[in-house]
Amino acid sequence: MSTTAPLSFLKGHGTENDFVIVPDPDGTTELSPAQVARLCDRRAGIGGDGLLRAVRSAAHPEARGMAGEAEWFMDYRNSDGSVAEMCGNGSRVFACYLRHAGLVSFGDVAIATRDGVKRVHLAKNGDVTVGMGRARFPDGQVTVTVGERSWPARNVDMGNPHAVAFVEDLDHAGSLLSAPAYHPADVYPRGVNVEFVVDRGPRHVAMRVHERGSGETRSCGTGACAVAVAAARRDGADPAVTGTPVTYTVDVPGGTLMISELPDGTVEMTGPAVIVAQGRIDPDWWAGASTGAPANLHA
Ligand SMILES: N[C@@H](CCC[C@H](N)C(=O)O)C(=O)O
């Protein structure tokens, strides 16, 4: 069901991965892919790399089973309206929204996501730490290509799929206006997020990312985790073997994330998150957005 009622919204970002936030506690504002794309449109809408709908877990069929553990479900969508399993930066911004709205306090909060319950810690200095779960390394050799250049990529699953390519220069990834090609073509049946990585120093890397469903973004939390664990394995570091955590500093165009892999194999991500604005959607514009009237795209 699509709503025609005016919506309230907020806008927030984590290391400049930015989101439209739609509070919908009772789960009555189901958004179609076209409506999400309109809201995320940077010229004809509010603008964002993605959208976070905040629904009580008990009120959402995908989250009802997690309601005992996590009161709130993060219904994440990419800016093209597609659904993704998980969004790392989104989970930090989502927790920040819950605190901003007075729904939780600083400290620990559990959030239901399509990749299960995530434990988040909200520090008073603005940093937000998320327990991202374990990285998985699906089998398969992958090659990613941009223009004339190709690189071997590590296949990393952080709840959502990532291809991590170590490159000599981040500029070699080009403009990233379109999605990098990958081979074999059937390795990611539901698409993939592609990270390009260079070394900056000991356990310090920098990356660019092309996100499935959103294009190039200025940060990707699941991507930074995938990059950190891929870099650790490349560097011969495995906390499960040594029994000590391994931490990488990951620079993204929009800031810096700290990623730690713990001896139990779980990954933690720490970085800033902020709410920057709130408001109401104009009902006339929303009626047009809901009926599919043409938006003023790329005017
Ligand atoms: N920006 C996100 C990832 C969002 C989902 C991704 N585009 C996908 O389709 O898997 C993050 O911070 O993790």
Q: What is the mean pLDDT of residues 34-38?
A: 96
Is residue 125 annotated as involved in ligand binding?
A: no
By most ligand atoms within 8 Å of CB, the mutation choice from 19, 85, 120, 193 for ligand 1 is: 193
| Residue 88 CB–ligand 1 contact under 6 Å | yes
CA dist., res. 68 & res. 191, Å (int): 32
Residues 98 and 148 in one domain: no
Instruction: Give the Å distances, CA to CA, from 170 to 147, 208, 222, 253.
Output: 14, 7, 19, 11
CA dist., res. 55 & res. 279, Å (int): 18
| Residue 289 CB–ligand 1 contact under 6 Å | no
Q: What is the mean pLDDT of residues 287-298?
A: 56
Is residue 134 domain-resident? no
- For the stretch 150-187, pLDDT in tens is 999 999 999 999 999 999 999 999 999 999 999 998 99
Residues 161 and 112 in one domain: no
| Cβ atoms of residues 181 and 145 within 8 Å | yes
Residues 14 and 83 in one domain: yes
Is residue 283 domain-resident? yes
Is residue 263 domain-resident? yes
The complex scores an ipTM of: 0.99
Helix (H, G, I), strand (E, B) or coil at 156: strand
Give pTM, 2 decimals: 0.95
Residues with Cβ within 8 Å of residue 12, at least 6 apart in sequence: 18, 19, 21, 93, 96, 97, 273, 274, 275, 276
- For the stretch 206-222, pLDDT in tens is 999 999 999 999 999 99
Residues 225 and 285 in one domain: no
Is residue 19 domain-resident? yes
Residue closest via CA to ligand 1's atom 2 equals 87
Residues 237 and 282 in one domain: no
The residue annotated as part of the active site, out of 40, 96, 220, 225, is 220
Tell how far the Cα of 200 is from the centroid of ligand 1, in angstroms.
Answer: 24
Residue 225 among the catalytic residues: no
Is residue 235 domain-resident? yes
Is residue 193 annotated as involved in ligand binding?
A: yes
Residues 28 and 86 in one domain: yes
Residues 191 and 231 in one domain: yes
Q: What is the mean pLDDT of residues 129-141?
A: 94
Residues 235 and 167 in one domain: yes
Task: Please give the pLDDT value at position 6.
Answer: 55
Residues 39 and 113 in one domain: yes
| Residue 14 CB–ligand 1 contact under 6 Å | no
| Residue 211 CB–ligand 1 contact under 6 Å | yes
For the chain, what is the domain count? 2
Task: Please give the pLDDT value at position 5.
Answer: 59
| Cβ atoms of residues 89 and 273 within 8 Å | yes
The residue annotated as part of the active site, out of 40, 87, 96, 225, is 87
Is residue 184 reached through a cis peptide bond, with omega within 30 degrees of 0 on the bond before it?
yes
> Where would I find the beta strands (DSSP E) of the chain?
8-14, 17-23, 50-56, 72-78, 107-113, 116-122, 127-134, 142-146, 149-157, 161-166, 181-183, 193-201, 204-211, 215-217, 246-252, 255-261, 266-272, 274-280
Is residue 151 domain-resident? yes
| Residue 220 CB–ligand 1 contact under 6 Å | yes
Is residue 17 annotated as involved in ligand binding?
A: yes
Is residue 298 domain-resident? no
Answer yes or no: is pLDDT of 68 > 80: yes
Atom of ligand 1 at shortest range from CA of 221: 12
Q: For residue 73, what is the domain's CATH number?
A: 3.10.310.10
Q: At what angle do helices 221-234 and 88-100 cross, to 10 degrees?
A: 140
Residues 14 and 32 in one domain: yes
Residues 40 and 66 in one domain: yes
Residue 96 among the catalytic residues: no
Is residue 136 domain-resident? no
Tell how far the Cα of 242 is from the centroid of ligand 1, in angstroms.
Answer: 30
| Residue 15 CB–ligand 1 contact under 6 Å | no
- Pick the closest to residue 232 from 244, 215, 219, 214 (CA basis): 244
Residues 38 and 111 in one domain: yes
Is residue 88 annotated as involved in ligand binding?
A: yes
Query: Which residue segment(s) compose the domain that 226 sits in?
Result: 142-271
